[in-house]
Structure 1
Amino acid sequence: MTTESDITPSAADRHHPMLKLALELGPLLIFFFANLRGPWLVERFPALSELGGPLFVATALFMAATVISLIVSKVVLGHLPIMPFVSGIVVVIFGSLSIYLQNETFIKMKPTIVNALFGVALLGGLAFGKSLLGYVFNAAFQLDAEGWRKLTIRWGIFFLFLAVLNEVVWRNFSDDFWIAFKVWGTMPITIIFTLAQMPLIMKHTVTPAGETEN
C-alpha cells in the first residue's frame, strides 16, 4: 500500500477533481445526515439499533463511508492521499472505541487529535529544516523554499487553531450543533483560510524545471 507523497498532483487527480472532492466530503455528509435522521434509519434498518443512539449510528456509517472512500481513492486515483488516510485511521480507531464503550468522547475528540497531529507535524518538521506541507496537501503548485516555509507555518498554526476550536465546540454545545459545525462551519473556515493564502502562493510560485512560462 502506498500513500501520495508527491507535491505535484497525479494525472488521475487532475482528471477526476470532483471525484476527489466527493471522496473527501462524502463521509462527512453521511455523518451529518445519519445523525440528523438517526431514528428514521433505525426504523428502516432495525439492526442499527444495536449500535446505540443516533450519534453512534452516524459514527458507524461515517467509518464505513471513510473506508469505502479510501478504497475508491486507491482503485481510481491510484494512491491514498496522506491527510485522508491518517484521518481515516483515527476515525476507525476512535469510532470503534466510541461504539464499543458507548462513549461519545472518543469520536468527538477525533478532529482535535487529527488537526493537532498535522499542526505539530508541520511545525515540528520546520524545526528540522523540512517543509512537509507538499506531502500533506498534494499541492497543485510549486513554491520556492521561503514560500513553503511561510505557508507551512500558517497551515501549522491553522491546524492547531482547528484543534482548539473543536474542543471548544464539542465541550460547550449540543451534539447536533457540533456535527453541523463539522460540516457547515469547519469547511467554510478552511476554504476562506485557503483563499487567503493565494497572495503568498502567487508571490512565491516558481516554474518547475523543464517548463517555460507562456
Structure 2
Amino acid sequence: MDTLDGDELSRRIARELGDALAAPTIRPGCSGHHMEFPGTITLPPETLMDVIRSYCRSLDAHGFEYIVLVPTHGGNFGPVKTVAPDIARELESTVIALADLDEHMQLLNEGLSEAGIEYDQDVIHAGAAETAMVLAIDEGLVRVENIEPGPEGEISTARLLSEGFKSITENGVLGDPTRATSDAGNVIIQNVVETYVEHINTERDAV
C-alpha cells in the first residue's frame, strides 16, 4: 500500500508542479512494529536515513534544484524528519520534507469526508482511507471478499510503535475497510496532492 501510495502521490505532485520528476519510491522501510506479522521486512532507521542521503546526493549531483521527500509509511516519517535537515546542510539542492504524520492522516480523513464518507480513524492503517486509495490506484489488488474490520476508536500511536501492531490488532487492520470506495480514494489522493503542492510552492517561494 505505502509504495503504491508513494508512487501515485509523487507522479501526481510532479504533474501538478509541471517542472518536476518523480523518483523511484524507496523500499523497504522501518517496519519493526509489524514484525509479528510473517513476511514483514524492515530496516533500522539509520539504514533508511543512509539510503535517503544517497538518493539525495545523487539527485544533487545531477543538478536538481529541489528535492522533495514524501514519506507514506508511518514508520518512515520520523527518520525522514530527522535526516532532512542534515541533508539540507550538506547539499546545494533545497530539501523539502513533507514529513508530518499527523497532517498526513488528517488529510486522509478529510478526503473521506469530502467524498461523503463520514468516518474518522485516529490512527490509519489498512482501514477505510487506505483501502479506498488502493481501490483508486488499482482496484484489482483489493480482495474485497476477504475484507474484515479491525479495532476502532482511540488508539495509542506510542503503544503501536513500542509494543507492535499485534498488541492492538490481530489482523493488522485498524478501522473499517468495508467503507472504502475507489471514488473516495481518488478524492483522498487529490486532497493530499493539492496540499503537498501548496507546501512545496510555499517553500520554493521562501527560498
TM-score (norm 2): 0.31
Determine which structure has more spread, i.e. the larger CA radius of gyration. 1
Greater helix content: 1
